[in-house]
Amino acid sequence: MDKTPVMDRLIAPSILSANFLELGKAIEMVNASEADWIHLDVMDGVFVPNISFGFPVIEKIASLAKKPLDVHLMIVDPDRYIERIKKAGAWLISVHYEACTHLHRTVYAIRNMDAKAGVVLNPHSPVHLLEDIIRDVDLVLLMSVNPGFGGQRFIENTYEKVNQLKDLIARKNSGALIEVDGGVDLKNAPLLFNAGANVLVTGNTVFSNPDPAEIIRKLKH
């Protein structure tokens, strides 16, 4: 695959932690901030024990967003929905390793729609599972909490996984970016970037702060 240009220190605020009564305001804040992407968490109540939002919300966000939409699918059988997710406005679509029996097929279904394809690993899934798919994906998302909820505590083992993934990417000459999602805060963000993460997702840290744009700036720098 074509090598994605090196992209570093990207911040993707997760809308899951925004006030849904003021979603428009949240998107405009992200638009005006130094954030790079907007992270959308789609949950089906089956793959994860929570239900978030679906197509109508994604479409509305897409109509207002000035940054690429990074859609994280926490659903079983994602093949059924990726086309609609792309049509709703997704730029990057990430599916869970644990939810895809035929991951290679799913990744190419996403790429053939001209979307970027990401694969997500739960905290218990080792990096070496990606040996034979790493050259085919644009991004690997490492979960640093068990997926389903915002505001959880960061799992420290993630640093080691970032290192292992960086090695795998180099060894296989892959262009995949490394994204980390869950419990990212001002303390672990610089450590994760230094370990080799390219993109950090942040929900609670950004949206629980009275000055979210300033937190985004601090996380990035």
Footprint on residues 167-186 left by ligand DX5 (CB under 6 A) = 181-184
138 in catalytic set: no
Structure tokens at 46: 């089956």
Beta strand spans in 104-154 (E): 116-121, 139-143
Distance between CA atoms of residues 196 and 193, nearest Å: 5
> How many Cβ atoms are within 10 Å of 134's Cβ, its own excluded?
21
With CB under 5 to 8 Å by kind, the binding choice for 179 among Zn ion, ligand DX5, none is none
- Residue 174 contact among ligand DX5, Zn ion, none, beta carbon within 5 to 8 Å by kind: none
Q: Does 39 bind ligand DX5 (CB under 6 A)?
A: yes
For the question of residue 167 being annotated catalytic, the response is no
Which residues make Cβ contacts (< 8 Å) with residue 169, sequence separation at least 6?
134, 140, 175, 176, 178
Q: Which of residues 126-155 bind ligand DX5 (CB under 6 A)?
A: 145, 147-152
Q: How far apart are CA 22 and CA 215, in angstroms?
A: 19
- The reply on whether position 41 binds Zn ion by CB under 5 A is yes
Q: Does 212 bind ligand DX5 (CB under 6 A)?
A: no
> Segment 125-184, which members bind Zn ion (CB under 5 A)?
181
Distances in Å between the alpha carbon of 13 and those of 40, 44, 92, 131, 135?
9, 21, 14, 29, 27
Position among 17, 33, 158, 188 found at the interface with ligand DX5 (CB under 6 A): 17
Q: Distance between CA 149 and CA 147 in Å, rounded? A: 6
| Nearest residue (beta carbon) to ligand DX5 | 203
Active-site residue identified among 36, 44, 70, 181 = 181
Q: Choose between 54 and 175: whose C-beta lies nearer to ligand DX5.
A: 54
Binding site for Zn ion (CB under 5 A): 41, 72, 181
Binding site for ligand DX5 (CB under 6 A): 14, 16-17, 39, 41, 72, 145, 147-152, 181-184, 201-205
